[in-house]
Amino acid sequence: AQKITQTQPGMFVQEKEAVTLDCTYDTSDPSYGLFWYKQPSSGEMIFLIYQGSYDQQNATEGRYSLNFQKARKSANLVISASQLGDSAMYFCAMRDLTTSGTYKYIFGTGTRLKVLA
Amino acid sequence: NAGVTQTPKFQVLKTGQSMTLQCAQDMNHEYMSWYRQDPGMGLRLIHYSVGAGITDQGEVPNGYNVSRSTTEDFPLRLLSAAPSQTSVYFCASSYRGQRTDTQYFGPGTRLTVL
């Protein structure tokens, strides 16, 4: 069954340092997409970065990069030069094929990141 | 564009009451979905729709009904509210729900069932 696993319930990082948030996934579909979302304390869901299963290079968006290791089925989010505003909950998600041929999204349980001044 | 809008933002119900959570998007997205978010459980898919007139169940559909009569609107109905349905509900949409499409989320509805 399709599954997303985030094993770090909480993380701390010092301001201006880099941090890696772990995400592993399980799917039998060769074509899938992986996403990371940020949820600040205000509650909205903010899209950060996307990685396709056939993409040859790791995705990057500003200070966010995705360390995609297909053989290990991992899609870790790397945040460089952490800022206080990065303190939030982070969700890893996967878009996967359903038995009816459509797509649905599966989310992990999230990692709460706290950036320390 | 307003993006994805949800109403109400907050709602308190008594056990057994029914209500409809509204969701609308103005981006002409075909794919829409409803999630509930509970502490420690991430977001769980309730129902989704790949276009007007087409809906399907997600991971936790029991106690909820949906319909999609227009591309823009995707309401979620609670038939007989239970305390277990206390949660934050998010509506989301994307262009086609295909591999490369990003979901855009509404601001959420915080529902409490007493």
Percent pLDDT > 70 in chain A is: 99
With vertex at residue B100, the alpha carbon angle to CA B95 and CA B101, rounded to the nearest 5 degrees, is: 25
With vertex at residue B12, the alpha carbon angle to CA B6 and CA B15, rounded to the nearest 5 degrees, is: 120
Nearest CA among B30, B18, B4, B27 for reference residue B76 = B18
Q: Name the interface residues of B facing A (CB cutoff 8 Å).
A: 31, 33, 35, 40-45, 48, 50, 56, 58-59, 88, 90, 92, 97-105, 107-108
What confidence tier does B97 reach under pLDDT thresholds 50, 70, 90?
Answer: low
Half-sphere exposure of A15 (CA within 13 A, CB side): 5
What confidence tier does B99 reach under pLDDT thresholds 50, 70, 90?
Answer: low
Compare CB distances from B97 to A50, A103, A109 and report the shortest one's residue: A103
Q: Are B106 and A43 in contact (CB under 8 A)?
A: no
pLDDT digits over B3-53, tens only?
A: 999 999 999 999 999 999 999 999 999 999 999 999 878 899 999 999 999
Q: What is the mean pLDDT of chain A?
A: 93
The Cα B48–Cα B91 span in angstroms is 9
Q: List the single residue in B with minimal CA-CA distance to A108.
A: B42
Q: List the single residue in A with minimal CA-CA distance to B38.
A: A109
Chain B residues in contact with A6 by the CB 8 A cut-off are 42
pLDDT at residue A24 is higher than 60? yes
**In sequence order, which ranges of chain B are alpha helices (DSSP H)?**
none
The Cα A87–Cα A85 span in angstroms is 5
Is B99's CB within 8 Å of A32's CB? Answer: yes
What confidence tier does A99 reach under pLDDT thresholds 50, 70, 90?
Answer: confident
